[in-house]
Amino acid sequence: MKPLIAALLLALVAAPAMAADAVDTSFAKTQGPHPFNVRDLVMMQRVSGPQLSPDGRYAAFGVRSTDYAANKGVNAVYVLDLSGKGGEPVKVVDKGGSALWSADGRSLYFVAPAKGVAQLWRVDLGGKGGLDLTKHAAPVQVSHAPLDINDYKLSPDGKRVLLSYEVFTDCATLACTQQRVAARDKDKASGTLYSKLFVRHWDTWANGRRNQLYVARFDGKGQLAAEPTLLSRGIDGDVPSKPFGDASEFNFAPDGKSVYFDARIAGSSEPWSTNFDVYSVPVDGSAAPRNLTADNKAWDAYPVPSPDGKTLYYLAMKTPGFEADRFAIMALDLATGAKREVDPKWDRSPGGLSISADGKTLYATADDEGQHPLFAIDPANGEVTRLSGDGTVDDYSLVGDKLLLARDDLKRPADLYVAKANGSDLKQVTHYNAEDLKNAQVGDFEFFNFKGANNATVQGYVVKPVDYQPGKTYPVAFIIHGGPQGAMTNGWSYRWNPQTYAGQGFAVVTVNFHGSTGYGQAFTDAISGDWGGKPLEDLKLGWKAALDKYSFLDGNRACALGASYGGYMTYWIAGVWNQPWKCLVDHDGVFDTRAMYYDTEELWFEEKENGGTQYEHPENYEKFNPLNHVKDWRVPMLVVHSGDDFRIPITQGLGAFTALQRRGIPSEFLTFPDENHWVLKPHNSVQWHDAVNAWLKQWTAVDAPKAATN
């Protein structure tokens, strides 16, 4: 038994903590050279959605800027001439996003609001011998539906467009859905009666509507009819999937005569099923969708047809009910129905699948030992070649022999790079945030390996504080990642960014424990049923390895912090490994694994991780339940939990805060009623970071109160 700590004595001598509602949320961006901080973070311009023009000469992409006064991001579309003649990127759309090139490369389509409804627009760029980016015509609205466009994709010949709308599936028209929504809004009765799950998902209460896939044809004037043709007829599911699906879940056949999409049939089992399937449907909607992957009861998705139209590539998992299984690249012969796995020897889980124009190379990104690069896969023999170096490839576009990459790392946010299709001749072509990064100094980082649980090689990294000086020691922020099937990689983040702590004078240590991605599927699988076992052992051994290797880490002034699974682990170590920590920060963590099963929405996750339902296997849910170790809690803790988090509901955070207060342990509770599992709004992000940093500094100060032992 570990000794009990008299947390009440600690509370009596602790300095009063800053109340959550007293956190300074004013904004004053630091001028001149300075350590990187959250105000730098929220004001960074975010580059995304790279799209090469059909001739490969131009790059279209999105840039999100922050309107801090309005507490929101503002999206714009830019175009850069890659020929070397065009100079700097040119803004062609002030407010809009999701830009795609027309088939002839003379126009861009994008999504922007019209009278409060997200519609499809086109901007014609004109010019002779090249586009005229500075004198283009005004954007033209081309869709006129009464509902928001969720996602879209243009046909290869540019004559049609796939459109996703959220509708009532028993409505024959989009207008019917709009009228029913309007009637609901006017109804003075506010109750909603449910007869099946999902009742709510991620951060949204179910409203009876489904994302459905439609197709529309452009008329002679480039306009779309208000009423498109429904393609996902009879599909009781969402296309694309909720809550994070996108246009990668549907595609045109090369000849434009068929459409492929994926969907999970909902029925009454949606919250505990991962059985997505890939469907084929005629582009005119003349027949019902046909299931192409009914034989696999696990996840099949992200269809990509070969250029000759003979093969359909897609990603498939093999374990039903498991969202973190390895995605294999599958090839379906559309004539015979025969299927084969393209990459059986590649022990990584790819995403972002695409194919070269000659059909001889597939492209995909994947986590890989702390990096997230782009890979080329030979569909004939499964040979895999890594194309990009260290860092993270967020997105990419391929035309001919040219690649356009959105790429970032731990020291800089995303910019665009061009390279040849084999990854050679990599060259940076945009330099957003360059001036800000000259002033906002960030810390250097280094990966390290050590022997973890079962004597396996485990990886972590350290980030030095911005003011690092050899011979000095620094307090430590020990970050525990979420997922749990995820990883802390060499990439930039706008939520858990190690540089925000390095800028406050902290060294950062993180460990990619058993369960992390990018180290082989067996390593990822190892956490299921063992949440508090091997991962905890890895964290302990990783912490020791870091202290042994890096003399600048002050192990006597360290705090542990994490979110989601990282929050679960923070609650877990509060009871079973609290000795090293001066304070803890828990964001949206699981406090009671038993209640979590009945409170959350996606039950497949809970059932896979715990070997079945709670009522059939209660012992599995109790094995690593943090609630059962509250009697051993002693470390001061800041609990953060948001009101719109339906993945890990707010009662989990409230329960933990109640435990802390009842035990007399110094603690604070910060909540955001308008945030989900993540904190996304600019003002809230600043408040979150200010509260967390204040908590870390309070308890790692040289004269911080000491815990007393019974």
Residue 67's CB: how many other CB atoms inside 10 A?
A: 10
Distance in angstroms (rounded) separating the CA atoms of residues 491 and 414: 9
Catalytic residue chosen out of the listed positions 645, 667, 689, 690: 645
Catalytic residue chosen out of the listed positions 677, 685, 689, 690: 677
The alpha helices in 381-445, defined as continuous H runs, are: 434-439
Distance in angstroms (rounded) separating the CA atoms of residues 399 and 421: 8
Q: Closest Cα to residue 517, out of 484, 475, 551, 477? A: 484
What's the sign of the alpha-carbon dihedral 33, 34, 40, 41? positive
677 is catalytic: yes
Distance in angstroms (rounded) separating the CA atoms of residues 570 and 480: 8
Could you tell me which residues come within 8 angstroms of residue 365 by beta carbon, excluding any fewer than 6 positions away? 350, 351, 352, 372, 373, 374, 375, 393, 396
Catalytic residue chosen out of the listed positions 98, 564, 667, 685: 564
Backbone dihedral angles phi then psi of residue 155, each to the nearest 5 degrees: -70, 160
List the end-to-end C-alpha distance of the chain, in Å, as a whole number: 13
What are the distances in angstroms from CA 165 to CA 141, 147, 225, 228, 447? 17, 7, 14, 10, 44
Local structure of 597: helix, strand or coil: helix
What are the distances in angstroms from CA 254 to CA 278, 304, 311? 17, 10, 11
What's the sign of the alpha-carbon dihedral 252, 253, 259, 263? negative
The alpha helices in 616-664, defined as continuous H runs, are: 618-623, 650-663
Q: Closest Cα to residue 92, out of 111, 110, 78, 113? A: 78
Q: Closest Cα to residue 481, out of 466, 493, 471, 467? A: 493
CA angle (225, 226, 227) in 5-degree steps: 90
Q: Closest Cα to residue 205, out of 186, 190, 192? A: 192
Output the six-digit token pair for 198. 């999902």
Strands 667-670 and 637-640: parallel
Distance in angstroms (rounded) separating the CA atoms of residues 285 and 299: 25
In terms of Cβ atoms closer than 10 Å to its own Cβ (0-12, 13-18, 19+), residue 470 is exposed
Residue 68's CB: how many other CB atoms inside 10 A?
A: 15
Distance in angstroms (rounded) separating the CA atoms of residues 527 and 126: 55
Give the per-residue SS3 of 117-183: EEEEEEEECCCCCCCCCCCCCCCEECCCCCCCCCEEEECCCCCEEEEEEEECCCCCCHHHHHHHHHH
Local structure of 545: helix, strand or coil: helix
Could you tell me which residues come within 8 angstroms of residue 644 by beta carbon, excluding any fewer than 6 positions away? 203, 673, 674, 675, 676
Q: Closest Cα to residue 163, out of 239, 53, 106, 220? A: 239
Q: Closest Cα to residue 480, out of 501, 452, 508? A: 508
Confirm if 324 and 314 have CB atoms less than 8 A apart: no
Could you tell me which residues come within 8 angstroms of residue 443 by beta carbon, excluding any fewer than 6 positions away? 463, 464, 465, 466, 468, 498, 499, 502, 503, 507, 508
564 is catalytic: yes
Confirm if 500 and 441 have CB atoms less than 8 A apart: no
Q: What positions carry a catalytic annotation? A: 564, 645, 677
